């Protein structure tokens, strides 16, 4: 195992080194939060694929393949579909807005009155996403070093917090590119073919497993529909995803680079399901489906290759964790604290302040909070479900409504956020966190309230809509100013 440990230690040291290098690049708010909006197609595609393909997509995707066969690909597949839809239909317009957060987009569209409440919902989503990614360190470090759960979370979380705090989006982009390469080599080029060969090839897999393992819809139509509703639509509106769109050098980079990343996700989804299916042949009675990835890596891969594939799993977790962390800190600082601070200090406060220093402090604070919550929380699936239910139920309708429906109004958007969010919380309390009904009914409630209140209230001011159209066309302020207090 000495070679495997060396591979992991070198990888972790490289992450910290890139954080230090990124610190030298991040001299302005734009550089720190959105990499100066300068990423070309290669870096944009890699970093976008890295953030959406986290531990759930890697370890969880293999686990679903172990449990359901090839249809276990649907969870990650719907993530890829969502990224493709975002890239083809919306990314160009989003990139041209030149904002930093989803709430700033809502303020532009509706006239500056939707920021704080939408920011709170988005902050809760990004916080829980960061927590679930951080919890996954325990599984990986347990396989690597037989490490205590709490110590594993502190170690993995501290590395991510360190390089994210140092260099912001530049550090995260550089580390994501390394993580993208490591995942590609480790999972697609090494683990996938080795797993299939060890299982005896596809013919042997078909002979040893039930036919439903090779049914593309074997996981169930309702489950697939729920995945589409939560993950495909969630990709369209998440701050962690939008913040990567903001890094694109141009709207063309956002569209075509995102399309490449989405296609990569589809391939990754199928690979994970095939690896899980192969694991089912080799280990038919594992105590947990989520143990399939670690078991096949530990038992079947040669020394050195094992370390690289475990580094790939670590890379998957770190890319999502760092992306969610900077999104959480950006929303907390720019959408909540800055607005509340502006409301209290209507005279402008004490004068100009160091925006990079402020955002860096928020990443550190949020990072420590994420580590503490991850230590206290055990159920990853429930935390992730709460996050996506709040996001889709509370924000999907006002965001897509603002992009697609001219008649939508600020009161309609605020009412939709409140009604959808509260409905989801109440229904999760009644039906259970893992039930499908909360997101179904919460989304329908949000849509009904948005349409009804928008039609019942005065249309959005013509000047606001004119300014919105200018920004959508790529004209207006090169960098948006800090939002006024609601």
Tens digits of residue pLDDT in 121-130: 899 889 988 8
Which of 344, 378, 412 lies at the terminal end of a domain, its last residue?
A: 378
Tens digits of residue pLDDT in 205-258: 999 999 999 999 999 998 999 899 889 998 999 899 999 999 999 999 999 999
Provide the pLDDT for residue 289.
Answer: 86
Instruction: Please indicate, yes or no, whether residues 294 and 406 belong to a single structural domain of this protein.
Output: no
Instruction: Please indicate, yes or no, whether residues 180 and 43 belong to a single structural domain of this protein.
Output: yes
Asked, for residue 108, whether it belongs to a domain, the answer is yes
**What is the span of the domain harbouring residue 128?**
1-336+361-378
Instruction: Please indicate, yes or no, whether residues 119 and 217 belong to a single structural domain of this protein.
Output: yes
Asked, for residue 92, whether it belongs to a domain, the answer is yes
Asked, for residue 354, whether it belongs to a domain, the answer is no
Instruction: Please indicate, yes or no, whether residues 124 and 6 belong to a single structural domain of this protein.
Output: yes
d(CA 439, CA 452): 20
Which of 327, 345, 378 lies at the terminal end of a domain, its last residue?
A: 378
Residue numbers of the chain with a pLDDT score lower than 50: 346-352, 480-486
**309 membership: H or E segment, kind and range:** helix 305-330
Instruction: Please indicate, yes or no, whether residues 183 and 285 belong to a single structural domain of this protein.
Output: yes
Instruction: Please indicate, yes or no, whether residues 151 and 224 belong to a single structural domain of this protein.
Output: yes
Which of 378, 412, 436 lies at the terminal end of a domain, its last residue?
A: 378
Instruction: Read off the CATH number of the domain in which 222 is found.
Output: 1.20.1730.10
Asked, for residue 350, whether it belongs to a domain, the answer is no
Provide the pLDDT for residue 476.
Answer: 66
Provide the pLDDT for residue 453.
Answer: 96
Instruction: Please indicate, yes or no, whether residues 331 and 403 belong to a single structural domain of this protein.
Output: no
The structure's pTM equals: 0.87
Asked, for residue 43, whether it belongs to a domain, the answer is yes
Concatenate the DSSP letters of all residues of 39-70 into one string: B-HHHHHHHHHHHHS-HIIIIIHHHHHHHHGG
Instruction: Please indicate, yes or no, whether residues 154 and 183 belong to a single structural domain of this protein.
Output: yes
Provide the pLDDT for residue 17.
Answer: 85
d(CA 406, CA 109): 9
d(CA 333, CA 341): 10
Provide the pLDDT for residue 113.
Answer: 65
Instruction: Please indicate, yes or no, whether residues 137 and 238 belong to a single structural domain of this protein.
Output: yes
Q: Count structural domains, the chain.
A: 2
Provide the pLDDT for residue 380.
Answer: 64
> Roughly what angle, to the nearest 10 degrees, separates helices 102-110 and 115-145?
160
Asked, for residue 241, whether it belongs to a domain, the answer is yes
**Residue 473, phi then psi, degrees to nearest 5:** -85, 0
Instruction: Please indicate, yes or no, whether residues 280 and 329 belong to a single structural domain of this protein.
Output: yes
Instruction: Please indicate, yes or no, whether residues 374 and 405 belong to a single structural domain of this protein.
Output: no
Instruction: Please indicate, yes or no, whether residues 58 and 138 belong to a single structural domain of this protein.
Output: yes
* Chain centre to alpha carbon of residue 6: 29
Q: Show the beta-strand stretches assigned E in 238-325.
A: none
Q: Which residue has the tokens 């090494």?
A: 190
Asked, for residue 169, whether it belongs to a domain, the answer is yes
Asked, for residue 341, whether it belongs to a domain, the answer is no
């Amino acid at each position: 195992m000495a070679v495997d440990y060396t591979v992991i230690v070198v990888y972790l040291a490289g992450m910290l080194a890139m954080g230090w290098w990124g610190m030298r690049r991040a001299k302005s708010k734009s550089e720190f939060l959105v990499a100066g909006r300068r990423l070309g197609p290669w870096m944009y595609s890699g970093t976008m694929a890295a953030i959406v393909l986290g531990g759930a997509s890697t370890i969880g995707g293999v686990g679903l393949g172990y449990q359901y066969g090839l249809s276990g690909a649907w969870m990650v597949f719907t993530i890829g579909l969502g990224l493709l839809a975002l890239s083809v239909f919306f990314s160009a317009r989003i990139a041209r807005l030149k904002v930093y957060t989803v709430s700033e987009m809502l303020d532009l569209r509706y006239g500056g009155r939707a920021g704080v409440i939408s920011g709170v919902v988005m902050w809760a989503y990004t916080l829980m996403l960061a927590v679930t990614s951080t919890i996954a360190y325990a599984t990986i470090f347990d396989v690597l070093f037989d490490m205590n759960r709490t110590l594993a979370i502190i170690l993995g979380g501290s590395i991510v917090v360190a390089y994210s705090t140092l260099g912001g989006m530049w550090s995260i982009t550089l580390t994501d590119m390394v993580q993208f390469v490591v995942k590609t080599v480790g999972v697609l080029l090494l683990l996938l073919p080795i797993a299939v060969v060890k299982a005896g090839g596809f013919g042997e897999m078909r002979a040893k497993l039930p036919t439903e393992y090779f049914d593309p819809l074997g996981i169930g139509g309702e489950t697939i529909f729920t995945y589409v509703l939560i993950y495909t639509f969630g990709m369209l509106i998440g701050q962690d995803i939008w913040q990567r769109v903001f890094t694109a050098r141009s709207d063309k980079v956002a569209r075509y680079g995102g399309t490449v990343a989405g296609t990569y996700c589809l391939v990754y989804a199928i690979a994970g399901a095939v690896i899980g299916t192969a694991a089912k042949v080799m280990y038919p009675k594992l105590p947990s489906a989520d143990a399939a990835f670690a078991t096949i890596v530990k038992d079947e891969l040669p020394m050195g290759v094992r370390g690289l594939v475990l580094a790939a799993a670590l890379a998957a977790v770190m890319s999502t964790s760092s992306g969610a962390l900077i999104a959480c800190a950006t929303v907390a600082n720019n959408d909540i604290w800055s607005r509340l601070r502006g409301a209290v200090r209507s005279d402008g406060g004490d004068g100009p302040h160091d925006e990079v220093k402020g955002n860096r402090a928020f990443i550190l604070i949020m990072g420590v909070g994420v580590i503490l919550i991850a230590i206290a929380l055990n159920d990853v699936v429930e935390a992730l479900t709460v996050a996506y239910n709040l996001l889709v139920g509370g924000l999907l309708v006002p965001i897509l409504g603002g992009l697609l429906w001219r008649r939508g109004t600020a009161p309609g958007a605020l009412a939709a956020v409140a009604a959808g969010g509260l409905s989801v919380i109440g229904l999760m309390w009644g039906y259970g966190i893992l039930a499908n009904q909360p997101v179904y009914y919460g989304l329908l409630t949000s849509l009904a309230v948005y349409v009804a209140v928008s039609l019942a209230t005065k249309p959005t001011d013509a000047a606001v809509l004119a300014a919105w159209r200018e920004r959508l066309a790529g004209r207006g302020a090169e960098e948006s100013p800090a939002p006024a207090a609601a």
